[in-house]
Structure 1
Amino acid sequence: MDAAVLLVEDSTPIRVAIATALAGAGCTVLAREDGDRLDRDLDEFRPDVVLLDVMLPGTDGFGLLETVRVRSDAGILMVTARDAVADRLRGLTDGADDYITKPFEMAELVARVHAVLRRRGRTATTIRIDDLVIDPDAAVVMRAGNTVALTATEFRMLTFLAQRRGRVLTKTQILTAVWGYEHYDPNLVEVHVSALRRKLEEHGPRLLHTERGIGYTLDVARS
């Protein structure tokens, strides 16, 4: 997910966690604790998506939402502890693309950002590596013309790796992007990589490679 994301969140732990998860998913993140520099950030950083906390010092998220809508065509995701229906409706009515309520799993937030990008035409709809075809919109994977049946977690992992074709990704990066939390047992990655690799190799040579001591990469078959 190659995208520029502007994050406005006043809680330092939450801001760092969100920025880390999005960076792990391949985004370039500019994180702010308030909206004081919003105008300049919109002009200079030119985000694809803006994440706005509702409860902010100074101008709140709803006020910043109006500014983003006037000055930018970025997608907007409201992030807040509020769960009142009226707040959700206000954000969506005022022009937000989506709304997520704290507490949430980082994997869900990453998925919602990706969905906003997709709806706004900011992401490619199909990924091709050799005879492997991945359609993120339809959640379909084909290998040499054969459908590859994956679990939701395997699909997220494959898409994450495919969007970074040829890059070596560590277990921590994969954990953060796929599960949303970097302190899960790293064995989770090994188990899912093994299952994903087995399914892909039912229809062709190895595409998911292990870089010993570093991590994994998805790329063309090696001789």
Structure 2
Amino acid sequence: MAETILVLEDDPAMQSFLVTLLKTHQHPVVSFSEGLLAMQHLVSQRVDLVLLDLGLADLDGQSWLQQIRQWTEVPVIVISARHGEQDKVQALDNGANDYVTKPFSANELMARVRANLRKTQHQAQVFAFGEVQLDPVLHRVIKAGAEVHLTKTEFQLLLLLMRHVDQVLTHNFVLSQVWGKAYIDRPEYVRVHMAQLRQKLEDNPAAPTFLKTEPGVGYRLKV
């Protein structure tokens, strides 16, 4: 199956060129000019690679990168008219896999597309378990059709677990990702917030079905 590519570009002429080029190389393509709509598509649909223009109408491309990197590792190639070294460094620091400056040749771009698709094997994002659904764009959690209020920390913890479904996450890994490295070796922070998540999301918090403890190691989301 050919890899699906999402094009996020608000210039109509450039968007049309990119879509035509990718389809010529047999790639299914979805295209957007607004960052929020593109994010919403990423949540619900399979995408294997993103071509991102930094100059979007509704939000800055750098901010868009930072937001999606909270919940997906889909490869992103930035395509930008910004030639400054600082823009490139910032994009790479924010999670871009590659950076192409305009103007560029069709052959160069397709070579970079092929290279990034080879390097990263697509992993589907799982944003649901049992009766729980998580929307990483709107920062909403729904259980059995009703919205569940989570604190910012609880939401980040749940999102981390959902990004690593069926993987054991150590206390220190969770602490570094959610609280920061200054909180390493403070497992009580994780225990308290996991207990709160279980109270809100598990039918039987005392015997959780999904939010599992791995004794002496950490936690796992079992689906």
* Matched residue, 2:28: 28
Distance 1:39 1:120 in 2: 19
Post-superposition Cα deviations, 1:133-178, rounded to whole Å, max 9, x if no partner, equal xxxxxxxxxxxxxxxxxxxxxxxxxxxxxxxxxxxxxxxxxxxxxx
The aligned runs of 1:130-149 (5 Å cut-off) are none
**Equivalence for 1:118:** 118
Q: TM-score, normalised to structure 1's length?
A: 0.52
Aligned to 1:15: 15
Secondary structure at 1:71's aligned position in 2? coil
Q: Which residue of 1 aligns with 2:108?
A: 108
CA offset digits 1:158-210 (Å, max 9, x no partner): xxxxxxxxxxxxxxxxxxxxxxxxxxxxxxxxxxxxxxxxxxxxxxxxxxxxx
Deviations 1:90-125 (A, max 9, x none): 111111100000011112111111111111135xxx
- The higher radius of gyration belongs to 2
User: Unaligned regions of 5+ residues in structure 2, if any?
Assistant: 123-223
- How far does the alpha carbon of each residue in 1:15-44 deviate from its partner, in whole angstroms, 9 at most, with x for none? 010011111112111011121213321022
Number of equivalent positions: 122
In structure 2, distance between residues paired with 1:26 and 1:80 = 24
1:86 partner SS: helix
Amino acid at match of 1:99: Y
| Aligned counterpart, 2:139 | none
User: SS state of the match for residue 20, structure 2?
Assistant: helix
Deviation at 1:5, TM superposition (A): 0.7
User: Which secondary structure state, in structure 2, belongs to the residue aligned with residue 37 of structure 1?
Assistant: helix
Q: Secondary structure at the match of 1:36?
A: helix
Displacement of 1:2: 1.6
Amino acid at match of 2:60: D
**Following TM superposition, where does structure 1 have runs of at least 4 consecutive aligned residues deviating by more than 2 angstroms?**
none
Report the counterpart of residue 59 of structure 1 in structure 2: 59
Q: 2:49 matched to which residue of 1?
A: 49
TM-score by length of 2: 0.52
State the distance in 2 between where 1:99 and 1:26 align: 23
Find the aligned partners of 1:77 and 1:48 in 2 and give their Cα distance: 11
The 1-side partners of 2:73 and 2:86 are apart by 25
Structure-2 separation of matches of 1:70 and 1:50? 16
Paired residues of 1:42 and 1:71 also in contact (CA < 8 A): no
TM-superposed deviation, 1:45: 2.3
Distance 2:92 2:58 in 1: 21
| Identical-pair percentage | 33
Q: Which has the higher contact order (CA 8 A, sep 6+)?
A: 1
Q: Is the Cα contact below 8 Å between 1:49 and 1:76 reproduced in 2?
A: yes
Match of 1:99 in 2: 99
Shift in Å, 1:73:
2.1
Match of 1:149 in 2: none
Q: Distance in 2 between matches of 1:17 and 1:118?
A: 23
